[in-house]
Every structure is written in C-alpha cells, then in structure tokens.
Structure 1
Amino acid sequence: MRSFVLAVFLMVITASTSPASEVSVEKAHFNLQREGIWKVSVTLRHADEGWKHYADEWRVVNAGNKKVLGSRILMHPHVNEQPFTRSLANVPIPANVRHVYIEAHDKAGGWSHDKLKVDMSVKKGKRYEINR
C-alpha cells in the first residue's frame, strides 16, 4: 500500500512540474509587397492558459546569419482561438537570402524548438507558401 501511495505521489509531482507545451508553428504565408519587402502571415497553435502563459511572439530569422528580420508581438492570450493567424507587413528579406526560420515564443516556456524552415527559392513547401 505504501508503494502505491508513493507511486501516485510521484506521478502527481512529475505531472505538475513537467514543462508547458511549446508553441507550434502550423504554417506561414509570404506575400511579396515590393522588391525585398514581404508581408508574412503565421499560424500558431498553443495551449494558452491566460496572461501568465500564452504565445506572445513570433519572428522571421535569417537562417544564414541568425539576424532577426521581423518580429510580431502578440498582445493577449488566444485561449479560445486556436489555431490563430497573425500577420506582419514590411518584413525585409533580401533576394540573396535563401532560407529563413519562423520561430515562436511563449511567456512561460521561451522560444519553441519547433522552427519552420522556409526555402525562399521555391513557391510552396510542406507548411508554407510563397506568393511573388
């Protein structure tokens, strides 16, 4: 009986201290506004819980030099709106940049390991689309 109680106790402790779910980058759309300037729309999924734990930012990063090209701050939780899409206009992506990452962040867990790698030289990928 004591081992059963101990096992249940350990399961409860482990469950309550496990890391929060990461933000998932579901898809992205890139629309060329003018030469080298893009509007980027990103769809995220995250188990937002309220003001202390929600997806609060996504960004476009040059895969070559890791420079942040654009960042979209999310001002509030999306508890009842999942997945959700938000856009950012006037993102400078030079013509010589072949790959970018879409990265997402949440207040409790930080930057997600789920990065979306986008090949800017092709029209469509597994979770992205590029309109020139």
Structure 2
Amino acid sequence: MKCFLHPAFLFAPALALAGEPEIRAVDVDADRVSVTILHDDDGWEHFADAWEVLDANGRSLGLRTLYHPHVEEQPFTRMLVGVPISEDADVIYIQARCSVDCWSDKRFEVRLR
C-alpha cells in the first residue's frame, strides 16, 4: 500500500512533530489480536491511522484501520478479530502507520511460543 502525505503537510512542517506510532503492547488470543499504540495524535491532520499483523515472511494477516484521532486517549488499545495465524507460527509482527509519516520502519515482534 502506498502512503501519501497529507497536502497540509507541505505548508505546515509542525505536523511532522508527532513522529511514528509506538507499539506498546500486543495480546494474541487465538484469532484475536489487541494492540496498544502510543502516538502524539494532534487531530485530524496527524494521527495513528492503522496497524497491521504480518507473518514471519512479511505477508499481511490483517489490517486494523483507525478512523479517527485519539488525542485524549493515549496510549490506546484496539482489537482485530479473525486474524488467520497459523498454529505452526512461532512469531508474528505488528507494524503501525500514521497519516503523515506512513508505515513505521519498526516492527513489533510477538513470540507465540
């Protein structure tokens, strides 16, 4: 998925100050994944807008879109149900995205065994 900069970013460099979303915790229970994210959401112009579950090979197992900023709720936790995690999997990764900085280069490793 490509990520595009919000047009306001070109005229308001302060929007970049929130930085990348930071994954603080992950809970996996069968096909349910809960992720806690910390991000300095500052409103609709810059907020954590998604996280994704990846298998050991980097293939997407599920995407959780976050449809609004969480300015007053930090960190916040959201769940995704129906994630097809193989019973043989030893590890999954969580990667977060924000509306300005796109996908974080950091992946949160979750050991399943």
33, 46, 51: which is aligned to 1:53? 46
**Structure 2 partner of 1:39:** 32
Change (3 A) 1:27 1:93: same
23, 27, 30: which is aligned to 2:28? 30
Q: Establish whether residue 82 from structure 1 lines up as the match of residue 80 from structure 2.
A: no
Say what the alpha-carbon RMSD is for the aligned residues: 1.7
TM-score, with length taken from structure 1: 0.71
Q: Conserved in 2, the CA contact under 8 Å of 1:46 and 1:55? A: yes
- Give the ranges of 4+ consecutive aligned residues of structure 1 lying more than 2 Å apart after TM superposition: 15-20
**Structure 2 partner of 1:110:** 102
Greater Cα radius of gyration, structure 1 or 2: 1
Change (3 A) 1:98 1:115: same
TM-score, with length taken from structure 2: 0.82
Unaligned 5+ runs, structure 2? 1-12
Change (3 A) 1:17 1:89: closer
% identical equivalent positions: 41
Secondary structure of the 1:97 match is coil
Q: Which amino acid aligns with 1:73?
A: T
> How far apart, CA to CA, are the structure 2 residues paired with 1:67 and 1:119?
16
Q: Conserved in 2, the CA contact under 8 Å of 1:19 and 1:109? A: no
Q: Which amino acid aligns with 2:65?
A: I
Q: Which amino acid aligns with 1:85?
A: T
Deviations 1:82-129 (A, max 9, x none): 0000001110001122111011000000111332101111xxxxxxxx
Q: Which amino acid aligns with 1:83?
A: P
Q: Which amino acid aligns with 1:108?
A: V
Unaligned 5+ runs, structure 1? 1-14, 33-37, 122-132
**Structure 2 partner of 1:97:** 89
For these two proteins, the number of residue pairs brought into alignment is 101
Q: Conserved in 1, the CA contact under 8 Å of 2:93 and 2:108? A: yes
